[in-house]
Amino acid sequence: MNAASPLYEPLNTLKPVASGLWIVDGPIVRMAALGGSAPFPTRMTVARLADGGLWCHSPIAPDAALFAAIDTLGPVLHLVSPNKLHYTHIAAWKRRYPGAVAWASPGVRERAASQRIEVAFDADLGDVPEPAWAAELDQLRFRGSRVIEEVVFLHRASSTLILADLIENFEAAKLGPAMRWIARLGGVLDPDGKTPLDMRFTFRDRAVARVCLQRVMAWQPRRVILAHGRCYPEHAEAELRRAFRWLE
């Protein structure tokens, strides 16, 4: 792997995390960061539910080989937008799996409309697990920001917390000089990844956010999957206390 590449190769490949749980690393996207634009690696999470169906968190760019591999696991039944920044590829996945339910996070319908991206969402995520996956996954809306709310999930059997943007953790060796500077300024440089600085500024009600964090900590996660950067395969509770110390 190129030391300056932010990619987590191999891409578009199912990588086991635990029994019935996989991640898939995808290509680079460009996202707003500290007033500019920066390259972000992408990552989705796939969980197999008790009925054999698949739950797909933050689907990455469509890929024929990935679709073929996923089809060997079971039918795709749920396409999940965890926050209003993670939704772009759901429309393409919905075309590939028309029987899947596309789940909307808070504000994502309005965001998609403003970006003129057509996404036919079928249902909205709430603050409690949906009946379709309540036996396998816990969830809550992480509140406190006036701009963005993220729905976070716990894969119960493996005690794996699944996040999108509440923590980003970019490895310096995978970044070019400009992105390394942006990541350091934004407070999202490994090993001290956390909520990006611009997002932290939007948390006007930190008391509410602390309550949400307490609920997450009560789940006692063992590992954390992140959408951007290095995940935390162990010591999850310590990493969460470190990453969210800005809420104190």
For the chain, percent of residues with pLDDT exceeding 70: 94
The pLDDT tens digits for 81-104 are 999 999 999 999 999 999 999 999
CATH fold of the domain at 14-243: Metallo-beta-lactamase; Chain A (3.60.15)
Residue type, 235: H
* Domain extents in the chain: 14-243
3-state secondary structure of 64: helix
Burial 227-244 (b: 16+ CB within 10 A, else e): bbbbbbeeebbebbeebb
The pLDDT tens digits for 101-126 are 999 999 999 999 999 999 999 999 99
